[in-house]
Structure 1
Amino acid sequence: MVAVERPLRVLHLCPDTRYLTELFTLYRNALDQPPFQSTLVFLRGKPDAALAQHMGERVQFLDLPRRALEGLRLPALWRLWRSCRGQRFDLVVAHRFKALTLGLALCRLRVARHVLGVVHEIGQFDGRRRRVIERARTAPLTLLGVSEAARVDLVVRFPTFPAARIKALPNAVEDHPLLSRAQALAVLRLAPDRFWFGSIGRLVSIKGYDLLLRAFAPLAHEIPGLGLALVGTGREEAALRALSHDLGTEEQVAFCGWRADVRSLLSAFEVCVFPSRDEGFGLAIAEAMVAERPVIASAVGGVPELLGDEALLVPPNEPAALTAALRRLYDDPALRAAMGAALRARWQARFSPAQFATRLQAAAREAAGAAR
C-alpha cells in the first residue's frame, strides 16, 4: 500500500470579522489545498453564517470580549486552547500582534509547531511589543511583512532577529464586479453632477485625511462642481468634519461611513486618493487598481512598490503637492483613462491571488519544514 502523507495543518488566527475578511479568505484558500488543510479562528466577532459559508469548512468564532485580549491575554488563550484541544497544527498564521502572541503561546503549549506572523503595518513594534519580538528570536517564528518596505523595516528594527526568518509577502486582492457609476453614486447618496474624488480607509491620523481636506479646499473653492467622498469611520471623524467646516468645504465633502460593499462602489469616483503618512501595503489602493481607477497616493512605505510608475505619487505631509496632483488629474481625462488601465494591468501582473498563493505556499512549506 502507498502511504498517504498527512496534510500540513494550518491554523489562521484572525483578529475580528469586520476588517480584512477578503484577505483572510485569500490566505485560507492558498493554504487549504494539498498538502495544506486550514482551520480559521476569528478571535472577536459573533458567529456569522454567511461569512462561515464563504470561508468553507473548519471556521470558528470565539466572540471574545475586548478585555480578554488585553494584558497577558490568558482568557483568550484558554478559550483558544480549548477550541484546539486534541489537535496539533504545523503552522499558525497570525494576523497582527495580539494573534501573534497567542500563536507563540500555542507553540509553548505544543499545540503548534511554527508561527507565521503577518505584519500589516510599518513601525508598530514599540515598548512591550518590541521586547516580545526580540525575545522570540529563538522561537519558531517567521515574520511576513506585507511589502518589501515592511520587511526592511523589520530587519532594521530587530537586528538580532534572524534575517532569514523575516520575509516579504505582498498582499493581493481579488477581482470584483462594479456597479455602474449611476448606481454607485445612488448607493453612496452622492450628487450625480459632481466630479468625485474618493478615498477609502479608517479615519485616523496616519491615513492623512486632514492633509487631503487641506489640499482639496483650494480646488473646491475654485471649482464648485468638485466633490470629495471619504468612505470609512474612525476616531478622527468629528475632527475631520470640523476641519471641513472651517475650510468652507462641508457642502462638497461627503462622509459616507464604513461600507462592506465599498469595492463594488469604486465606480462612483473619477479619481481615488490615498494621502497616508505611512502605509505597509495599501489594500484599498490595490482595490482601486482592480477597479481601474486612477490613483494619487503618498510615496510612503510599500506604496511605491505597489503602484510603480503608473500613478501620481506625492511627498507625504505636503498639501500643496497633493493639490497639484488633484488638479492635474481633474484637468486631464485622457491621463485618467490611461492610468486606470495601466494600474489594472499592473495588478494582474503582480498582485493577483494566483501570485499571492504561490508565494504564501512557498513560505508555508519552508516554515513547516523547519518545524519538523
Structure 2
Amino acid sequence: MTQLRTVQVLGGGSAGSSAHVRSLAAGLVARGVRVTVCAPAELDHDYDFLGTGAHFMPVPPRSDPLAIGVLRAACMGADVVHAHGLHASVRAGLALGSQRAPLVVTWHTRTHAEGARGRLLRLMERKTVRTAAVVLGTSSELVDLARRRGARDARLGPVSIPAPRHGVTEAHAAKARAELGAMDRPLVMAVGALEPHRGYRTLLDASRAWLRRDPVPLVAVAGEGRQRAWLQRRIDAEGLPVRLLGRRDDVTSLLAAADVAVLPSRWESRAPLAQDALRLGVPLVATAVGGVPELVGGAAELVPYGDAGALAAAVTALLDDPARRAALAAAGRAQAGTWPTEDETIAQVLSVYDELCAGG
C-alpha cells in the first residue's frame, strides 16, 4: 500500500486555522501520512510545522504567477490537497489546474464586505466551493453558506484547537495579575487581532460604563493589528481603563487570571478565545454571532453585536455575582468536554482523505 501524501495550504493564517493545521500535520504524520505544509514563512516560525515531522514549503500569501508556481510544484504528486480559508482555497485551485488530486477546503471563518469587494468575495466563494471535492465548515452556518454557494459536498467539521499541554497554576495566574497591576481590581480579558471586525470599538464604549465602578476594572487586550494606533489614541483621549498588551506568548496564563473574558466580534466560528475560556473555567461574555452559540451552548452570556450597553451590563452583572461566575465556570468546563478531541478531528479529516482516494 502506497503512503498517502497530502499538502496543507494556508494563506495569512488566523490563530485558529494555523493551530489546527499544526495539530492536523502532527496527527497525520503520526499515522504514517506524508505531509507538506505550504504557508508564509513567518507562520512556520510561529507554529513550527517542521517540528511536527511535516515538510514545509514557504509560499507567500499572493496569487501572482511566481507564488502559484511554487504552490503548483509543491502539489505535484499529492493524493489530496487541503486548503484552509477562502484565499488559500482560491490559490490552491489555481495551482492544481488540471492536476487530478482532489481538493478539500476547510472554512474556518467568513469575510464580511460590502459593495464591489463583497461581490468579489461571493464570486470567490462560489468558485472555490465548486472546485472542491469536499468543503468542511467549522460551524453549521458555514456549511449552510457553502451549500448556498454551490458546494457539491459540504460537511460539518467542528475543529477544536489543541488544549494547553501544561496546566496553568494559581501561581501563573497571580503573576499575570501582578504584572498587569490588577491584584486589587477586577480583570476583564480580550484576545484577538486589533482589526475592525473584532468589535473593540464596542468594547471601548462599554469600558466607559466601568469607570463608575470602585475599583475600576482593568480591560486587557492581547493582540496586534492595524487598529492599534487608533485604539490607543482613543484610550488616551478618554482615559479609558484599557491596556493594549500587543502580541503575547502567555495568553493562557493571562486568560486564566481574568475574572471575565469578553469576545465582542462581529462574527466568529469556533473562536480560540471562547474555547480557551470555557476550558479554563473563565466566565465568558460573547456576541451571539456565527458559530458562537453552537460552540458555547448555555455556558456563556451572549449579547448582540455592537451593543455596548448590553456588553457593559453583562460584564457588570458577572462581576457583581460570584455565584453566577462559578456556575458559568462549571458549565464552561462541561461544555468543553462535549467538543471533539484532537484525535477525533484528525480521524474525521483522514476519513475524508481515504474516501476521496478510494473513490479516485
TM-score by length of structure 2 reads 0.88
Which residue does the alignment assign to 2:38?
41
Equivalent position amino acid for 1:178 in 2: V
Once the two structures are TM-superposed, the CA of residue 184 in structure 1 deviates from its matched residue by 2.1
Once the two structures are TM-superposed, the CA of residue 352 in structure 1 deviates from its matched residue by 2.8
Aligned length: 351
Equivalent position amino acid for 2:180 in 1: R
Which residue does the alignment assign to 2:28?
31
Once the two structures are TM-superposed, the CA of residue 81 in structure 1 deviates from its matched residue by 3.1
Contact 1:178 1:265 in 2 (8 A): no
Measure, in 2, the Cα distance between the counterparts of 1:270 and 1:353. Answer: 28
Measure, in 2, the Cα distance between the counterparts of 1:244 and 1:143. Answer: 42
Which residue does the alignment assign to 2:323?
334
1:119 partnered with 2:107:
yes
Describe how 1:172-321 pairs up with structure 2 within 5 A: 172-176=160-164, 177-179=167-169, 180-186=172-178, 189-249=180-240, 252-321=241-310
Measure, in 2, the Cα distance between the counterparts of 1:17 and 1:174. Answer: 16
Q: 1:286-328: CA deviations, max 9, x gaps?
A: 1112222111100000000000011101111211111111111
Contact 2:8 2:35 in 1 (8 A): yes
Equivalent position amino acid for 1:285 in 2: A
Measure, in 1, the Cα distance between the counterparts of 2:110 and 2:87. Answer: 16
**Among candidates 143, 147, 151, match of residue 139 of structure 2:** 147
Change (3 A) 1:31 1:324: same
Contact 1:137 1:161 in 2 (8 A): yes
**Among candidates 340, 344, 359, match of residue 333 of structure 2:** 344
Measure, in 1, the Cα distance between the counterparts of 2:254 and 2:210. Answer: 24
5+ long unaligned stretches in structure 2: none
Equivalent position amino acid for 1:127 in 2: R
Measure, in 2, the Cα distance between the counterparts of 1:113 and 1:23. Answer: 22
- What fraction of aligned residue pairs are identical, expressed as a percent? 25
Equivalent position amino acid for 2:106 in 1: V
3-state SS, counterpart of residue 105 of structure 2: strand
Once the two structures are TM-superposed, the CA of residue 106 in structure 1 deviates from its matched residue by 3.6
Once the two structures are TM-superposed, the CA of residue 369 in structure 1 deviates from its matched residue by 3.5
Once the two structures are TM-superposed, the CA of residue 59 in structure 1 deviates from its matched residue by 2.3
Once the two structures are TM-superposed, the CA of residue 185 in structure 1 deviates from its matched residue by 2.7
3-state SS, counterpart of residue 121 of structure 1: coil
Once the two structures are TM-superposed, the CA of residue 137 in structure 1 deviates from its matched residue by 5.7
Once the two structures are TM-superposed, the CA of residue 266 in structure 1 deviates from its matched residue by 1.6
Change (3 A) 1:240 1:147: same
Measure, in 1, the Cα distance between the counterparts of 2:193 and 2:130. Answer: 35
Equivalent position amino acid for 1:334 in 2: A
3-state SS, counterpart of residue 188 of structure 2: strand
- Segment drifting more, 331-340 vs 358-367: 358-367
Change (3 A) 1:153 1:123: farther
3-state SS, counterpart of residue 246 of structure 2: coil
Measure, in 1, the Cα distance between the counterparts of 2:120 and 2:5. Answer: 30
Q: 1:204-249: CA deviations, max 9, x gaps?
A: 1111111111112112223333110011111112222233334432
- Segment drifting more, 140-149 vs 28-37: 28-37
Contact 1:286 1:347 in 2 (8 A): yes
Equivalent position amino acid for 2:174 in 1: A
Change (3 A) 1:301 1:119: same
- Segment drifting more, 73-82 vs 130-139: 130-139
Measure, in 1, the Cα distance between the counterparts of 2:74 and 2:35. Answer: 14
Contact 1:45 1:61 in 2 (8 A): no
Equivalent position amino acid for 2:328 in 1: M
1:89 partnered with 2:78:
yes
Equivalent position amino acid for 1:174 in 2: P
Q: 1:259-300: CA deviations, max 9, x gaps?
A: 133123322211110011111221221111222211110000
RMSD: 2.6
Contact 1:16 1:45 in 2 (8 A): no
Contact 1:17 1:44 in 2 (8 A): no
Which residue does the alignment assign to 1:364?
353
Contact 2:202 2:306 in 1 (8 A): yes
- Segment drifting more, 89-98 vs 174-183: 174-183
Contact 2:196 2:227 in 1 (8 A): yes
Equivalent position amino acid for 1:117 in 2: V
5+ long unaligned stretches in structure 1: none
Measure, in 2, the Cα distance between the counterparts of 1:49 and 1:332. Answer: 39
Which residue does the alignment assign to 1:62?
58
3-state SS, counterpart of residue 260 of structure 1: coil
1:130 partnered with 2:122:
yes
Contact 2:281 2:330 in 1 (8 A): yes
Contact 2:80 2:104 in 1 (8 A): yes
Which residue does the alignment assign to 2:9?
13
